[in-house]
Structure formats: structure tokens, C-alpha cells
Structure 1
């Protein structure tokens, strides 16, 4: 029976760990069973901090109308309605009510777009849900942090973010960074011993607090409080909510939208003034009509939805990236992807399969080879191709693997008929090799129980454990494993022969061992040294806690060579990156010879090039190293701080750098890089928090795929920008020059007086509703063009709308206006081209031509260089949007109620064909300019 409430009266830090476990009704080894965990989740709620409630749907909908131009348009429509009520010049206020209907539809469309963007963001957030490792029913499980409950046994290690407040049960060199909660800059050492007196949070050294991170070591703890009951939960109300900042692209588009808005408003004012002067308007209803027309033009032409559509396109693109195993944590990273010039990648698990297999072991008496692959503990142990028969050599290999088995935190399990490694793949490979030589029969864990541990760190490149020998209890055995060169430097002796003779290590023998390490490395084997020593218990009791002092005067046992084969798709991904103008740099802690072998196999390193070691990096000056990074593509035996140095040097050379990482100490490099990329499987919480992106499969190919998607997303944003801006400019130019050149093209009132314009205000708003929504969004999801990965990276200093793009936008805008005014002139009885139609017929023809021209413009907008006829049928959404727009335009012309509302008359098949042919000028004219541009480019390159 759980007595959780008693912990409020007697805080957990003042109770023994056993008392806390009893009070919470849990079990140190078994944890909670699933049913009990579910019951507690229902009782205490999810382990989450309070957040602001979502905005109600009705407020989201009303927010669509809180816009100065929309408010002005509604005010103009109301005034028009009042004037109609006073003067009753027409039987029904079609225009005012139609404007209300269009504004309502626009608001509904904006609400749907915003809602979709929120859903997309929520879906992405769900993909990056935080997790914690807990013991449930005797097994370590990874569960969402939100499902952690009081009584759960947390399993934590370096780099983890603590899921909830918890009482430490056992700690091995455990240090936790608590600056976010206590302000203490240095990590705090944690122990399991209870504290008798009452102390503050900063001095509760046997407690872990939710939201803090493990800086070093590992341990277990029992959860005492979750959600709002945690220390950070109690102060969550005073914490600022994280707000997603606008990306540089969104800020630029917002600036473009405001600038265009001012220009369009100025044009609308000039156009209104021209109508007043030329047509000598005096009636109240005509003045209202002019006002309506000007506001309608401004509403239709100002691209206020640029940032909204951009957010949708970015979110949808991020969902596509998620399907390719890439979770984007920051929108700005999507923009930067297309500009990436260098990828700095780890080797193990990213370029390789992260499925280590021991291939060879070299000891004092010789070398043995292991067969078999994967995690199945089956395979032969061979000497010179024959079963191992040399007994002294066999005993040496057993001693080496015994050490590797014990200085190990992984476990090998048989689940559902398959062998599975829980823990680090390298340590798992050592367990499998030990099984192959028969060490599992010795019951090593039973005979040599672990007493303490000096954990591995990337700086030390070593790990050691202390064990009690149940047979020879007077001694404590120390086992160490680590980088061969580092470990060998701490060895003074070597084990030789079947009886375990210990002899001093001579300099000649050290040189010979290093040569053996280098030889294994030339076979692309990752090498690991193992060593041991025996200590008297009295000496340990005298000095106290185990630390690095035990890693001295060790006995060298041998070197183990392991293979982690390259991923099958890695070489092709490296090639694709290089074709895209992205340089690939491999950074690894492995031996330089191993690194070179793998890098050459993957195409990262060319013949004649060499790897640079961490030691060489340290010895070079900043200026020398900045020059070196221009050519060096492989770095071996590097520490995490070297990664930071590499990124800084590359950025100083003007490169846009993507850096991968998984450890706590990788966080500085991930933050400094233009794009920090964390590993989803092996990455620590600290690395993921510092990164802009997370690879859920830890695969280099996914990173290259992300660059491809990033380029595609940016290209799609340019497509719909090209379409929206050129179409809107076409509308503005049509109205402006239609009014300015009204007498020249025959645009005069049939009665000789009154207001005459190329298009009615309702028609302008309809065009905006019809063509600026579906087609624009369809271009935002245009399929990616494979040619994007054969182009160099985009210069991040260039604007999203370049000078050449503005030029093409202007050309299309002029063509749209020219086609529309041509049809308008041809349809009127007076003007440059004498026709025979009425004013309403001419406006309907111009209206239809402008719609068709904008639909032709959809194909233009897909590229500024490539012909529109290339991959014409690829985007089915664009075709659906075009067909829907045509269908709705037909309804507006032929359905009587809509015809009255929009001032249209029925058109004949001939009229439609004429409008279609003239509107296609937009397509053919742009195709001609693209062809000329391609010919000029070809001449310049030749």
C-alpha cells in the first residue's frame, strides 16, 4: 500500500532510500508493474508542467478579421449598404452582400490554414516527445516522460535530462547540473546517503530534480514527485513561456508584404483620384463605389498571407522530413539546410551500422580471429585459420575477454528468439565475443561482483571497474578498457602465458604493441585495449573512494579489434552530398589508420590525402588550423573540444556547417554550428536540446535527405512567392492602367456618365479568393526536383526574392495586365481594337482572362529557369486547384444568383477560347524569356 503522503511530512531526502521505496510501494529491482503505473498516472496526472490553454476556435476565427484593410473593406461595404438603403437605385444590394460573403470565405480559409499549421506543429512536437528509462516489471523500458509516475525507478546516465524529482538509490560518480534550478554553476555530486538535518534544495545531494541534466556518471533513483508537484513545477507559473521566434525568412517576407502594401495603397489612391478627375463623379453611391474599389484592390493585392502560407509550407515540409527520419526542432534550420556547405559527421553509427563485431584479439602470445556476425553469440575462435588449440594463447584471450566482460554496462538478452544488446553496441560486441570463447559458463558476475566504477568519459577515453573476487577475497580486482594508446601509457606490466605470469613492459614491447594496434587499424578494425591490476583491500580502505588513481601501473592484457561496417547507403549519400556542393568531413575518436580506411571506402578521403589527429590539431596555431580545415576531411583521435575548434575554424572560413553529435560534451559544437544535428537513438538529452535537428535513425543518409528536403522546401516557397507576387502585380497593373488608359481602350460609360473601371470590386476580391489560395498552397507542396541536388548550396546572404526573381515577377505581371487589357479593349465598341460588346460583357471577358492568366501562371511559377512543360503532370495538387478554380469561375458566370452578384454575363465557347488563347500569352511569353536566359547562360559557360 503506497504511503506517498507521508513523504510530505518527512521529506524524502531525510529518509533512507529503503524507507522511500517502501513508502512509495515500489521495488528496487522490479519497479512498478504496468497496471499499477497506469493507476498512478490516473491518480496523479501526467508528468508535465502547466501550459497556456489553447486559444478557442471562435477566437481564432475572429482573429482573421482583425486586419486594418479587412476592417476598412467591411466598413466600406456597410457604407455601401447604407447608401443603397437610402437611395434604392438597385432592387438588391448585391455588391455589398457579395463583399461580406467573400470576406467571410477569406476568413474561413485563413482559419483553416492557421488550424492546419497548428496541427502540423503539434504533430512535430509529438515526434520530439521527451522520454525516460524506467524499470517496469523487472525490465528497463523507455517511456514518454509524461507517463512517469511516483514510485517509478529511473535509470539515468550522462547526458540524460531528469524526468521528475527523485530520491537517489545508487550513484556511480554521478554529477548533476542544477544551474537552471538552483543557480549553482558547477555540477553537484550526488550520493544515496540520507541527510539528517533540514537543508535547502541546493544541499539536497541525495535528490534529483526534474529538468536538470546529468553531467557525468550514472545511477538509479525513485521518483518522488511529478508534474506540478516537482520543484520546477512549483515555480512554473513564473517561468516565461517559450515563444517560437520568427525565422529570417518570415521576417523578410513580412517586410516584403508591408513594402508592397504601401505601394499598392499608393496606387489605389492615385487610381481613385484619376477616376474622380476623369469621370467627374459626384453622386454619393459612385463615391462609395470608388472607395470600395480602392479598398478591394488593396485587400486583393497586398500579400498579407505570405507568412501564414510560409509557415504551412515549412510545417508540411518538416512533416515530410520526419517521414525521412529527421525531426526539425527549429524552423530556422529548414532555411539553413539549403545553404549548408560542410557536413561534419561522426563515424560510428552515423556512417557505420553501429553493430560492432569482434574480429580479432592480439595478446602477448599471438593473435586469434573470431567468426560470426551480428548479436548472435555463435562463431568460431581461430588461430591462423584453424580452431584455437594453443592453451597459453587461449588463456591470455580469456583473460582479456574476462576483463572486457566485467568492465561493461551492457547486457545480452534473448527476446522472442532473437539476441538483443541493451546498452552500448561496443560493449555488446565484447559480451558476444566472451560468449563465443565460453566465458559465460564461468558465471563471472557471480564470482566477481562489482563494487565501484570509474565511468568512461570522452576526455579520458577510459573506463574502470572494481570487483571483489569471491574465491580470493583478500584482493580487489581493477579492470580497465579504453583507447589502446591511452591505456598502454598507464600500463607497467603485461600478462604472459597460461599461468598468468606478470612481466614488466619494456619500451621495445610497447612499440611492438602499438604496431599491432596500427596493423589492426589498417584492416578497418576499431581497436580497444584491456588491462587489469590487483589491489589490497586495505589500500582502498585507506585512500577511500575509487578514482583515476587506480588506473596506474596496470597489467596489459591485449588489444581487441572490432568491425563496425559502413552502412550500405553511406557511400552513395556521401557522393550525393558532394554532387550538391556539400563537403563531407568525418570526425572520430578512432585510430587514424582505421579512420582513413573507412573514409576511403566511403569516398570522403581521396588518394594522397591523410587524416589529422587531435594532437596535431592542438599543436597548430589558429591561423594554421584555419588554413588546414580547407583541405583536411578526416579527423581522428579527437576530443569533443576539438569538434568545437573545427566548427569555429570552418565558420571563420565562411562555411555553413552542419555538425552531428550525441554526447554531453558535443553540445557546445552543436550550438555553435549553423545546424546542430543530434542522434535520436544514441544521443543524450543534452545533445538533443542543443541541436536544431534530430536524426531518429542516426543515419548519415537521413542528414543528406534533410538537405535535399530543405532545398525543396525553400524552392517551393520561392515558387508560391513568384506566383502570388506576379499575379497580384498583374491585378494592380490591370486596374491602374485600365483607369489611366480608359479613353484609349474605349472604357467609357454607355450612358456617357458614371463610374467605369476594368473590373468590379467584387470581381477583384473573387480573383484573390479563387487563385491566391488553392494554387499557391499547391505550389508550396510541389514535388522535389532531383536537379536541386546537382546545384551548389544557396548563398545565405542572398534574399529569398533575388533581383532576377523580381525581374521575372515583373515580366509576368506585365504580361498578365497586357493580356487582360487586350481582351478588354477587343470586347468594347471603341478603342484601339474595335469590338461590339457591352461594358458588362467586356468586364466579364477581362475578368475571365485575368483568372485564366493566373492559372497559366501556376506553371510559370514552378521555375525561373526550367521550361514549364518539364514534369508538367508531377504536381497533382496544382492540377486539382486549377480545375477547381475553373469550375468555380464557370459557376460565377453561368449561375444566375452568382452572375448578378459579380456583374457577369454568359460567355460563348468562342469567347472562352479567345480568353484562353490570349491568357496563354503569360505562359508563352515567359517560356520565351526562359529560353533566351538559358541560351545566354550556355554561351557564357562555353
Structure 2
């Protein structure tokens, strides 16, 4: 209920008093009492001095705007991620390593590794800044919705002023086409109807009047109030402003947007956890390796200790997948491009993945699941029902109607103030959507010619008290007048004494009246909005006025049922979502019967269970949590209810995708893990608050986006599986190589550091294998079975236990293969060799690179064989080719040989390295086969 703040009366009250309430609910006061309570004369309005004083007390009639976040702060925020900070530290360490080498011998080239890491960090920050760093524009969009001008009465003079100058107590005049500039209590109304879909979700314009309200009333039921940001569809009225700026219903939503924090997406949380764990692992690895070298090699001199520290730090840097942030960003960005081609515009990169993990799609009905266009579905006459389902889109011009149905539609089109304007392939309705639906139905069924024979002479307009409208017309070539009437079925029926049956008129018997009432109740219960239509022939020159009985002794023509129809593709989309383990929930401001009918038709809920806003208000949080687990249809809800529903779903451990198009959806869009707004019919507010905007307003696009999101997350896991297993292999090569140095034939002199690989070689491996191959994995084609799987559990991280075991297995095999080659190339050890340390390191170096290139084929799936779709990703093979060329360059190019201490290898050497490295692929294929067999056996049991 709207309450009158005591500080609004007069200008002498302070700002503190302005926030106190008198307890008087303005909807329950008569117009005179409203004016007295607000300290204004309803005829002359406020004086200029009083208006100026109240403006100083209450401030401008505008929504509060947050100061924009400075660009440099938004850019700096991109470096707050733990993994990004770790990479900055890695770049500094790598630069220190290069600086020492440069000072020591002056032969070091440019610091390629440090520059590469810094480039990755900068690229990641730049892309995040462009895609994600946006100011809080939702409140600014709400502000733009406010009316620019307002017609006000001050000092007894009507004048037009900027809407920002309105104050509580101002008397405003409104008429058809106006945007309401502030919340106001009506004191006069004539055939006034307001479109409040963007505020309440109610698809049908609401009739307004100045009458008192009895009992509690929800936002959509306050018929004697008009609200800022809504529009007048028809009629005119006078109101007294009760609230301006942030105190309006629109302002309350703006406040809710400000108070609703941005949700951390599952991917963001998972990568943050991974960054922290990797940071800790790096420190442990560096310390352990340094201690191992010192103990095993008996290091005691300062130069040797310094070499040991540098090697340990270099290996720690190599253990971090520094390409991960950029590759994840690239994977998401490429997904954004693919989704844009499927009509889903992503405003925040992480939203792509989050949508793929959604458990629930909580959708607004009007304009999202339905077409947001009232459509005639059925005409009921004395001879039966005529279904117009084939004409829902206005394309079927061959609907054959009985004479009764034609007469009913003709009367509905004549008693009508709407107009149609042709626009490309569809008409645009100007006026009331319900009346527009009657005109489209008449046109669709071929009644244009019949309508053209009539000229309107007069009308008796609709009002909320009368609940009907009459039009008086003259028909060309026929004497007399025709009165066409439409309105609430019970009102129309009460004024009829006959009904049309075929081409005749017959008396309305009590039995027929009961049958008509029953038919109306049944159709209304199925969610249709029902109208009754009737007509009457009158002699030329008859007086046209309600008191003259012009709306009596009518001929009942029939009932017309209409509804905002579901989108044709929405049912299939709901079914696809269900197959993917995603529950669809409808949240609407419409009538419960309408919501239940649409939900049943779409397959969202067949049990008819509906939870209304009033019932939600009566539920405790734990009761609401239980209710949202069972109920999938919510009707007559306000913005605060939508937030409570989303929060209740989230407390049940569900990842929520919230869709909508109106102002009333914005807080819930922002609160949900993923907000999806309609781009065509949506408001600026909903688009600014959302993470994804649908350019075609198609519910089916959401399901397509889910599929894309799942594919992207799957590819991110492939990249992680590959990078972590490869980097683990490098760490194990170094650690085991040092511990087992005497066994492998590495015989260091006392106090000397002898390593299986040099620090520069380790960094080169990361440069060669962590770049192009990992990026190619990020664009791997989607698994066709992705939409047959359940959503990923909310608490499940990017890495699972099964992935961890797979990563450890591949890392151990990689290290074993590499150390075997090292041993076989050196004299002594387990396998006798004859090569020099430089040759052995080059062979080990090359084997490790090839192991990782074989591993990239493994990483495409944790269970499916690498043979499946082996050549489907052409970019992967191109990346493998580039990596081989780079490795060949470091082996054969003299300047690189000098920098990386390598020697040339023969073809036989390459074949030997490749043969040993292929063991990584062979053993992983065997492991996958065992896993598949085990899972199949478990499923059969």
C-alpha cells in the first residue's frame, strides 16, 4: 500500500520527518481526503512558492545515479585475480633469471619468456576490461525511462514543466499516449487504461478509476493509482502526485538493483580456487626442489646455491599454466562469436560458461514464453465453437466462419478504438492490445470488406464502472443504425433479450443463459480472457445515450476468447531443456489461470499448481524454499517476489538463469547467476541488468546458448587436463631426474649442479606446448551428447577427482618416458648409452615436447577414445604442426642451439623420441578403455 509521508504536507517539515509515515494508506482515502492529506487544492494545484519549497525538501523527480567507476580502477580490477597476480610474479621472476644470465655472460637474448607472460597478462586484462568492465548502467537506464515533460496544474493554470520538477502534491493531467512521470493517486478517470507490463508483468492493460480500494491490494491491483515509467493506453485522467524519484515504485526497483550484488559465476569461483592452489603448489615445488638439489648434490658454494635457486624458480614458473587465463578468455570470446550468430549477445564473458551449468531457467511469461500479443483463439456462438488456432500469426486467410461467428467478430471490430498500421510483414497495433487482437482476427478471417461498409457516428466509451463499450455505426446501403457492443460477458449477457442462431434471432431462454455462463467460466478457467459481443438495430435519428436505453434489448452474438499465445518454438525448447536436466520455471504478473494454462501448453507444469504473490508473502523463507522445489509456476508476483523466488532456488543449491524483458525483471536478472534479457521487446533496464541479451526474443535461443555454454566449459576442462598433466610431467622429470641422477648416469662433480634439463629448455617447452595446442583445444567441436547430460553440480570445481587421477597418470608416464630417453643416451645408468650430456638433454628435451603433443590428443576427453573425431578439429593438427616446426628450429638453428644448449638430431633420433613419446597416448587409451568398461558394467548392474 502507498502511505502518505508526513513530511509531504507543507514545506516546513524536515527531511527526517519526510521519512516517517502517518499510517494512512492513500488507496483507501477518497479523492478529497487525498488532496487534504497532501496539502493541495485539487482544482488549482500547488502554488509556485509551495512547489519550490517542496522541491527543496524532496529533491528532483529523478532516480539516483551512482558515480561511475573510473576507467583506471576498472582496469586495475582486472589484475585482482589470484592466477593473474601469480603470472605477474612469474614474469618478474623470469625477468630476474634473464637479467642474471645477461649480467653473467652478456650473451643472453631478449627476455622472451618474461615478455610472453606479460603479453598474456595484458591481453587478458584488456579483453576483460572491454567485455566485463562496465559501470552500473541499469539505474541510468531506469532514469532514462522517466517522462521528459509533465502537464501540471499550478496556481490554477495548466502548464507543462520538465518531469524532474514534479513534487509530491502536484496535480497532473494524463491522457492516451502519455508516459507517467511519477506515482499518482487518481482523483478523476475517464475510460482510463494503463499498460503496466514492464512494471508488473500484466500483459493486458489495466483499467483505472478513482474509486477507493477495499482490503489489501498488490501492485497490479491498485486500480486508483498510476505509476512512474508506465504508459496510458487509452482514456484520460487527473491525479495527485504521491511519490517522486526514488520513492516511486520504479525508484524502489532502482534501489533493489543498487542493493543486489553481482554474483560470482561458478567458473570465476573455480578458477579463483585453482589460482590459489597453484600458487601454493608453486611455492612448495620451488622449496622442495631447491632442498632436494642442495641435499643430493651437496651444494655448499654461493654460485652453486644461486644456480639452484634460479633453477627451482624457473621450474616453479614452468609448473604454472601461464597461458590458462588468456586461453580461457579466448575460448569464451570465440563462444561469444558463435552465440552471436545464434542471436544471443553476451555482455559478460563468464556468462557463457555459467549458462551451460544452469539447473533452472526462471522465465517471465509475457514476451518471453509468449508473443506479447493478444490473439483471438476461439469464438463461441449458439451453434458451437470456432477455433482460430490456424490464424494465430495472421497468415491464414482461409478460415471459414459461420454467419454467427462472423457477426460476433464484426461487432468486436466495430466497437473498437484501436488502429492497425502495416509494417513490413506484420501489422502494428496502435491502442489497446485486446482491441487490436479483435481487428487482426477480423482481418485474418476476411472481414475487411464488411468492415469497410460501416461508418462510426458515435460511441459510448468503456469505463471500469460500465465494463463495456458501444459504437453506433451506419452501414452503407442499409437504413437505420447498428449498435455494436463488447464488454465483460456477464455485463453484455444481462443486456440481451435475444441471441443469434444461424440467420435468425431467438429469445434467450434461462437454459441458454446458463449454458453461456458455463461456457464462459470454462474458457476463463483455461486462461482465456473472455469478451461478450452483441448488437442492436435502431431507427435512423435515435438518441444515443446510455440513459436512453441504447444498450438494452440487445442480440447476443457470442463469446470471444483470447490470450497472449505461447511462442511456437517454446514448447520444443522447454522439452530440450528438460532432456538436458534443466527445469523451466514461469514467473509472471498475469492471472494464475492464464499462467497455468500457458505452462500446461508448453509442458512446464501439467499439475496446475500455481503459487501467487500473496501466498509468497505469507511464507517463511524455509517454507518458500520448500515451495520452489515443488512449484514451477508463479503468478501475480511483484519484483520483490521474483527476487525471493530466485534466492529460494539458489538456497536449494541451484544455478539460476533468469529471463525477462520488463523493468520488474531487472533486480532478479541481476541477482541470478545468469540474467537473460529480451533484446526486441525488452526495456533498457532489463538489458543493462542482464548478462546475455537475446536479439530474437526467442526462448529457444536460450537452450541453444545452454548447449554452447556446456561445450565451452568442456573445452576449458580439456585445456586444463592438457596443461596441468603436461606441466606435471615437466616437474616430475626435473624432480626425479635430480633424485635419481646417479642411477640415470648423471654424475655431477662435488658441489656442481647437474640437471636433466636446463631452465631455459623448460621455459621453451612451456612456450611451444602451452600456446597453440592449448588454444586449439579451446575451439574443439562440441560433443553431440552434451545436451543429454545433467547440469554440472553447483559445488563441482573445474577439476574433478577423476580428472586429477588422469592428470597424475599422464604426468607420471610423461616423466618416465623422458627419463628413459635420458638414461638410454648417457653412459652408465640402467640402460647403457654413449651420448654426451648435451645430446642426452636434447633428446630428453625433444621427447618431452613430443609427449605433450601426443597428450593433446588424449586431453580431448577423459573417457572417449582419441580416435573418435580425431580429424574433426583441423586447428588442433595445425597447432601440432607449428609446435613441431618450433622444436625443429630450436634443435637445428645455430643461434637457438647456442641459447638453449641443444645439438642437431638425426632422423633416427626423432623416430626414437616419437616412438617412446607415443607410449603416453597408448597407455592413456588403455586407461580410458578400462574406465568405459567399468562404467558400462556399473550401469548394467
Change (3 A) 1:772 1:700: same
Q: How many residues align?
A: 773
Decide which moves more: 757-766 or 777-786: 777-786
Judge conservation of contact 1:363–1:397 (CA < 8 Å) in 2.
Answer: no
Q: Provide the TM-score with structure 1 as the length reference.
A: 0.68
Aligned to 2:112: 101
| Residue among 840, 860, 863 paired with 1:862 | 860
1:68 match: secondary structure: helix
Match of 1:197 in 2: none
Q: 1:327 aligns with which of 345, 356, 361?
A: 345
Shift of residue 819, structure 1, vs aligned partner: 1.3
**Deviations 1:307-326 (CA, angstroms, capped at 9, x unpaired):** 44433333332332232222
Q: 2:438 aligns to what?
A: 430
Query: Which residue in the other structure is 2:17 paired with?
Result: none
1:474-623 matched pairs, under 5 angstroms: 487-488=488-489, 493-495=494-496, 511-517=514-520, 526-529=528-531, 559-562=559-562, 569-585=569-585, 609-613=606-610, 618=615
Partner of residue 887, structure 2: 889
Give the Cα separation in 1 of the matches to 2:298 and 2:795: 50
CA gap of 1:786–1:538, structure 2 versus 1, over 3 A, is: same
SS in 1 for 2:797: coil
Q: 1:109 to 1:450 in 2, by over 3 A?
A: farther
State the distance in 2 between where 1:81 and 1:644 align.
Answer: 60
Shift of 1:187: 13
Q: Which deviates more from structure 2 when the two are superposed, residues 899-908 or residues 715-724? A: 715-724
Say whether 1:250 aligns with 2:268. Answer: yes
SS at structure 2 position matched to 1:362? strand
Q: Which moved more, 1:66-75 or 1:560-569?
A: 560-569
1:721 matched residue in structure 2: 720
**C-alpha distance in structure 2 between counterparts of 1:263 and 1:58, whole Å:** 26
Question: Using the alignment, how far apart are the partners of 1:694 and 1:423 within structure 2?
Answer: 28
User: Could you tell me how far 1:51 is from its partner in structure 2?
Assistant: 7.2
SS of the aligned residue for 1:831 comes to coil
The correspondence for 1:402, drawn from 414, 422, 431, is 414
Aligned equivalents of 1:756, 1:723: Cα separation in 2: 29
In structure 1, stretches of 5+ residues that fail to align are 1-46, 85-91, 133-144, 146-159, 172-179, 194-199, 206-210, 221-230, 233-238, 455-461, 472-476, 482-486, 541-553
Q: Secondary structure at the match of 2:144?
A: coil
Q: Deviation string for 1:525-545 (max 9, x for gaps)?
A: 9544257999x99999xxxxx
Deviations 1:801-848 (A, max 9, x none): 122221211111111111111111111112111111110011111111
1:317 aligned partner = 335
Q: What residue number does 2:283 align with?
A: 265
Deviations 1:265-314 (A, max 9, x none): 33223323333344455666544433332221122212355444433333
Any idea what SS the aligned residue of 1:698 has? coil
Alignment partner of 2:421 out of 413, 419, 429 = 413
Which residue matches 2:829? 831
Whether 1:167 and 2:149 are equivalent positions in the alignment is yes
Tell me: CA distance 1:725–1:370, structure 2 relative to 1, closer, same or farther (3 Å).
Answer: closer
**Paired residues of 1:724 and 1:772 also in contact (CA < 8 A):** yes
Aligned to 1:276: 294
* 8 Å contact kept, 2:335–2:712: yes
Q: Which residue of 2 aligns with 1:740?
A: 739
- Secondary structure class of the residue paired with 2:717: helix
Offset, 1:741: 1.0
> Given that residues 253 and 306 in structure 1 are in contact (C-alpha distance below 8 angstroms), is that contact kept between their aligned partners in structure 2?
no
Q: Report the alpha carbon displacement of residue 365 of structure 1 after superposing the two structures with TM.
A: 8.8
Counterparts in 2 of 1:615 and 1:259: CA distance versus 1, 3 Å:
closer
Q: Is the 8 A contact 1:161 1:214 kept in 2?
A: no
Partner of 1:291: 309
Answering whether residue 789 of structure 2 is matched by residue 791 of structure 1, we say yes
CA contact (8 A) 1:783 1:875 kept: yes
Distance 1:325 1:743 in 2: 63
Q: Alpha-carbon deviation of 1:201?
A: 11
The alpha carbon displacement at 1:889 in A equals 0.7
Alignment partner of 2:89 out of 68, 78, 89: 68
**Deviation readout 1:767-826 (Å, 9 max, x if unpaired):** 111211222222222221111111112110222212222121111111111111111111
Equivalent position of 2:479 in the other structure? none
> Cα gap change, 1:402/1:219 in structure 2, threshold over 3 Å: closer, same or farther?
closer
Which structure 2 residue ranges, 5 or more long, are not aligned? 1-64, 154-162, 176-180, 187-197, 200-226, 235-244, 247-256, 475-482, 537-542, 548-553
With 718-727 and 258-267 compared, the bigger mean Cα shift is at: 258-267
The more displaced of 429-438 and 716-725 is 429-438
Alpha-carbon contact 1:286-1:754 (below 8 Å) kept: yes
User: In the alignment, is the contact (CA less than 8 A) between 1:346 and 1:588 conserved in 2?
Assistant: yes
Distance 1:371 1:533, change over 3 A: closer
Q: Is it true that 1:81 corresponds to 2:106 in the alignment?
A: no
Return the offset for 1:614: 5.8
Superposition pairs for residues 634-653 of structure 1, below 5 Å?
A: 635=633
Asked if structure 1 preserves the Cα contact closer than 8 Å seen for 2:818 and 2:848, the reply is yes
Q: TM-score, with normalisation over the residues of structure 2?
A: 0.68
**1:765 matched to which residue of 2?**
763
Aligned mates of 1:603, 1:371 — CA distance in 2: 18
**Whole-angstrom CA distance in 1 between matches of 2:736 and 2:761:** 17
Shift of 1:638: 5.5
Change (3 A) 1:417 1:763: closer
Whether the 8 Å CA contact 1:894–1:905 is kept in 2: the answer is yes
Partners of 1:739 and 1:776 in 2: how far apart? 29
Structure-1 residue corresponding to 2:230: 216
- Residue 64 of structure 1 and its aligned partner are, at CA, apart by 9.7
Structure-2 separation of matches of 1:799 and 1:629? 26
- Judged with a 3 Å threshold, the aligned counterparts in structure 2 of structure 1 residues 131 and 803 are, in CA distance, closer, same or farther, namely closer
CA contact (8 A) 1:396 1:496 kept: no
The Cα of 1:891 is off from its aligned counterpart by 0.5
Structure-2 separation of matches of 1:627 and 1:746: 68
Please state how far the C-alpha of 1:685 moved relative to its aligned partner: 3.6
**Secondary structure at the residue paired with 1:786?**
coil
Cα deviations across residues 123-146 of structure 1 (Å, max 9, x unaligned)? xx89x99999xxxxxxxxxxxx9x
8 Å Cα contact 2:533/2:559 also seen in 1: no
Whether the 8 Å CA contact 1:464–1:479 is kept in 2: the answer is no
Checking the alignment, whether the CA contact within 8 Å between 2:151 and 2:172 is kept in structure 1 is: no
1:370-381 → structure 2 map (5 Å cutoff): 373=391, 379=397
SS at match of 1:361: strand
Q: Deviations over 1:860-890 (max 9, x none)?
A: 2221121122111222222222211111111
Please give the alpha-carbon distance, in whole angstroms, between the structure 1 residues aligned to 2:228 and 2:819. Answer: 70
Change (3 A) 1:187 1:581: farther
Question: 342-351 or 876-885, which moves further after superposition?
Answer: 342-351
Distance 1:625 1:576 in 2: 27
Q: 1:60 to 1:359 in 2, by over 3 A?
A: closer
After superposition, the C-alpha distances for 1:7-48 in whole angstroms (9 at most, x for unaligned) are xxxxxxxxxxxxxxxxxxxxxxxxxxxxxxxxxxxxxxxx99
1:766 is displaced (CA, Å) by: 0.9
C-alpha separation between the residues in 2 aligned to 1:201 and 1:589?
21
**Following TM superposition, by how much is the alpha carbon of 1:699 offset from its aligned partner in structure 2, in angstroms?**
1.9
For residues 344-400 of structure 1, the C-alpha deviation after alignment (integer angstroms, 9 at most, x for no partner) is 44566545666765354336797667698466698478554xxx2x6xx76654333
Compared with structure 1, are the counterparts of its residues 929 and 165 closer, same or farther at alpha carbon in structure 2 (3 Å cutoff)? same
1:621-632 superposed matches below 5 A:
none
Cα gap change, 1:322/1:269 in structure 2, threshold over 3 Å: closer, same or farther?
same
Question: Within 2, Cα distance between the matches of 1:601 and 1:529?
Answer: 22
CA distance in 2, matches of 1:289, 1:267: 16
Moved more, 767-776 or 692-701: 692-701
